[in-house]
Amino acid sequence: MKFRNSEKLYKKGLKHLVGAVNSPVRAFTSVGGNPLFIKKAKGSKITDVDGNTYVDFVLSYGPMILGHRHKKVQKAIKKALKKGYTFGASTKNEIKLAKIVCDAFPGMDKVRFVSSGTEAVLSAIRLARAFTGKDKIVKFSGCYHGHSDALLVAAGSGLATLSLPGSKGVPEGAVKNTLIANYNDLESVKAHFEKHDDIAGVIIEPIAGNMGVVLPHDNFLKELKEYLVSKGALLIADEVMTGFRSKFGGAQELLDIEADITCLGKVIGGGFPVGAYGARNEIMEMVSPLGGMYQAGTLSGNPIAMASGIATLTELRKQNPYEQFNETASILEVLLLEAAKKHNVDLVVNRFGSMINPFFTDSEVTNFEEAQKSDTKKFAVFFWEMIRNGIFLPPSQFEAWFLSSALSEKDIAKTANAIDKAMEAVSKM
């Protein structure tokens, strides 16, 4: 397999693009080598500029749940394009998609569409502060909620500490109201509340997807929600990644909790830039123009994105592929673990619904600290061997793999062969 054209484009892109990419996760920094440049995609496959075709487990980091260029989604997009691209005014489809989303989430009466997951989260944080009249927010180490200043933070030492900026350009003042807790550790949350009386809420990925797939312990989320109710604080669920990926709705329902505010993105745009945040009426009526919390966006509710989202969710509800997702994820888990055992490679596999990923470690992964014990050098070898055998994965040990309903038995067979060869390559390190 050759990557000459990708290499040429990478070198050319360095002149006018930062690192030749528009998002650092595309830069292949953690796996080495130059990033691949993609030419096209269809169904379960993605093809690079050198003509190499791969089974796609990146799926644009989640939104392509039906596979690429699904015919019904494509038809809806073409129909919308004929009417115009953006109006800066309301459209009927915004109401239609809002109903589909609200109906899928118990406790969500109203929703506000925005243009990205990052925008949804920063708006939800502002809303929680407006509703409670308090300033501080608790987040969990290893959970990613977009690149807004207040959430680009790294944990300090100890369980209860003020956070420090996790990026240059983020002043300490921007994160002074952000506190860090440990995922799956309720006591680390309580420690903050014992020290501070001005905490508006806690934001969490119900299923973490940016430290690899990490699941909550039994009752962790339920006990967290009960504790927050007792403290008059809100639970904000960041389901930008998990929304519509484990069921038609959110992971919250499967985990038997109901967040006060939910953030969405990815799938609800069907491949177009969309984010959303929603809650019950008394909270959402704080948002302008009904209330005093201001948030606006010229491209919010973009008509092309709304059409794509409606078509995607309508087809997704019709297909109801969630049982098949679980079966496919189970098959992949077995394939990974058996290949690892065969080649004497330490491996742990975590999965939830249509999200899965292997950790190159010999111990369970239940939080960010445990995830960081994974051998990233082994993952890099594994990644490139999978690429050479026609499997497109996220170029990071700490990113989830995603499944689409377009995956075929032939795709899984090809993946099985690639996994065996990749584990063999890892064993020779």
- 3-state DSSP assignment of residue 172: helix
In the set 266, 375, 378, 411, the catalytic residue is 266
Inter-residue contact 369 to 141 (CB < 8 Å):
yes
Give which of 421, 427, 353 is closest to 387, Cα–Cα: 421
Residue with tokens 């993605």: 46
90: helix, strand or coil: coil
Annotated catalytic residue within 10, 54, 144, 322: 144
Can 266 be counted among the known catalytic residues?
yes
Q: Identify whether 218 is a catalytic site residue.
A: no
CA dist., res. 145 & res. 139, Å (int): 9
* Intra-chain end-to-end CA distance of the chain, in Å: 21
**Is 61 a residue of the active site?**
no
Instruction: Characterize 272-308 residue by residue with b for buried, 16 or more Cβ atoms within 10 angstroms of its Cβ, and e for exposed.
Output: bbbbbbbbeeebbebbeeeeebebeeebbbbbbbbbb
- The one catalytic residue in 238, 375, 411, 420 is 238
User: Would you state the structure tokens that stand for residue 204, as one six-digit string?
Assistant: 């969490």
Other CB atoms within 10 Å distance of the CB of residue 23:
10
Nearest alpha-carbon partner for 112 in 101, 103, 104: 101
36 φ/ψ angles, rounded to the nearest 5 degrees:
-85, 140
Q: Which residues are catalytic?
A: 144, 238, 266
